[in-house]
Homo-oligomer: A and B are copies of this chain.
Amino acid sequence: MARPDPSAVKTVATIGAGPIGAGWAAHFLARGYDVHAYIHSMDEEAAFRKILDTAWENLEELGLADGASRDRLKLSSDLKATMNGAEFVQESAPERIEIKQALYNQLSEFVAPDVVIASSTSGLPITEIQADCATASRTVVGHPFNPPYLLPLVEIVGGERTDASAVTWAKEFYEIAGKAPLVMKKEIPGFVATRLQEALWREALHMVANGEATPEDIDIALINGPAPRMAFQGQCMAFHVACGEGGMATNLDQFGPALKLPWTRLEAPELTQELRDRMVDGCNEIAGDRHFEDMAAERDRAIVGVLKAIRAAKS
């Protein structure tokens, strides 16, 4: 199938008015694309533009592509018109299978057949999403990490009916569009990043449930311990480098037996009312009287700084 040259793409369509959909639109605008954004109803326009404007400040700080402008956004609630001219589609519709299936059925009509359609889904199998799509072979998962306008990760995987070339194309395109694409070898729940985060999260819940730590303790430990290093090296290379000449081999040979220690609780803890209250109260205490929007803005500034710091350390 003759797909567009990934480096020649000029027009990207996005679907969805939530933080993911609008976040994607912000990202593509900042990378200098024309963006056709479909929202379900024009009632959602204000919410969409608020997310876009918040994202934009941080994107400016990170550095815009030449010619990038919010004026290159075309916002509409007419799906067919929005898809007209799109050379790539990023779909971030609600996470309900019947909504996605009906949407992909329409998209097979409205989007040129050689154009890749990527779903931001975090939990629905692409094999099910593509079930009613007449052109399923060009549909993939392109799962971002929140906030999608700042965190570069996109996890890509195809479904049963996906053509391998669509996966390859998506990887190339995302790279050109300033993302860090990760092609999954298999479609597993949670992909890679969420699985890792979830493993850590379960252990955190166990510690709170057992009275060994508060939510504040958990966050103090992460922020001041493994996370700043992990943001630069990941975990494999953090261990590899920390073990000096011997690297990962030393790590596994020396600490391998420790894997068998009862260091992680195994199954998920029971989400009792008490555990729920501890988690909720703990977070509310940390937040104090700060509004979540202020904390999200502060987070975004921090992520911009972290990303810039990592960029500088590499160069």
Interface residues on A, range: 35 or more
- Give Cα distance in the complex from A202 to B86, angstroms: 42
Q: A185-B211, A283-B237, A305-B313 are in contact. Are A263 and B195 (CB under 8 A)?
A: yes
Which residue of the partner chain, among B227, B240, B264, B268, contacts A227 with CB atoms under 8 Å?
B227
CB closest chain-B residue, reference A220: B182
Which residue of the partner chain, among B184, B221, B240, B284, contacts A155 with CB atoms under 8 Å?
B221
Which of A6-14, A38-46, A241-249 is found at the contact surface with chain B?
A241-249
Instruction: Identify whether the interface residues of A are mostly helix, strand, loop, or mixed.
Output: helix
Contact of B204 with A236 in the complex, beta carbons under 8 Å: yes
Contact of B180 with A226 in the complex, beta carbons under 8 Å: no
- Asked whether A296 is an interface residue with its Cβ less than 8 Å from the other chain, the reply is yes
CB distance from A258 to the nearest CB of B (A): 8
Q: B residues within 8 A CB of A226? A: 145, 193, 196-197
Which residue of the partner chain, among B152, B248, B298, contacts A314 with CB atoms under 8 Å?
B298
User: Which A residues contact B (CB, under 8 angstroms)?
Assistant: 123, 145-146, 150-153, 155, 180, 182, 184-186, 188-205, 207, 211-213, 215-245, 247-249, 252-253, 256, 258-264, 266-269, 271, 276, 279-280, 282-284, 286-287, 292, 295-296, 298-299, 301-310, 312-314
Could you jot down 5 A-B contacts, CB within 8 Å? A193-B225, A232-B302, A237-B287, A248-B283, A305-B310
